[in-house]
Amino acid sequence: MMTPNQLTMMRRRPGLLQWAICVLLSTPTLLSAQDRAPTSSTSRLHRTTVSMDFEGFTTPKYDVLVAATEIGRLEEVNVSVGDRVASGDVIAKLEDGMQIEAVATAQWRAQMHGEIDAAQAETRLMKLRLDQLQTLADRQVARPDELKRALADWEIAMARELSAKEQDKLRGLELSRYQLQLQRRKIRAPMEGVVAEIFRAPGEYITPADPAVIRLVVLDQLYGVFNVPVEDIAVFQVGGKVSVFLMSASKSVSATVDSIAPDIDGESGTIKVKVLIENPNGQLRAGDRCQMKPDQTQAAAKRMPRRMPSPSMVKRTVPIKSPWETAVQ
pLDDT at residue 46 in the model: 41
In this structure, the strands spanning 205-206 and 186-188 are: unpaired
Q: Taking Cα atoms as reference points, which of 201, 179, 259 lies closest to residue 78? A: 201
Global pTM exceeds 0.75 = no
pLDDT at residue 140 in the model: 84
| Integer angstrom CA distances of residue 245 from 48, 188, 248 | 21, 36, 9
Phi, psi of 103 (to 5 degrees): -65, -40
Q: What DSSP line would sit under 26-38, residue for residue?
A: HHHHHHHHHHHHH
Phi, psi of 205 (to 5 degrees): -95, 130
pLDDT along the chain (329 residues), means of 10: 52 53 49 43 42 85 93 94 93 94 93 91 93 88 87 94 94 94 94 93 92 93 93 90 91 92 91 93 88 71 49 46 47
pLDDT at residue 53 in the model: 83
For the chain, how far is it from start to end, CA to CA, in angstroms? 20
- Chain-centroid distance of CA 260 in Å reads 13
pLDDT at residue 203 in the model: 93
pLDDT at residue 298 in the model: 54
The residues, ordered by sequence, that sit 6+ positions from 4 with a Cβ below 8 Å of its Cβ are none
pLDDT at residue 64 in the model: 94
What is the sign of the dihedral through the CA atoms of 127, 133, 137 and 139?
positive
pLDDT at residue 218 in the model: 92
DSSP E strands in the chain: the ranges are 54-67, 72-77, 84-85, 90-94, 186-188, 193-198, 205-206, 212-229, 241-246, 251-260, 270-278, 289-294
Please report, as a single letter, which amino acid is at residue 13.
R
The residues, ordered by sequence, that sit 6+ positions from 205 with a Cβ below 8 Å of its Cβ are 71, 72, 73, 74
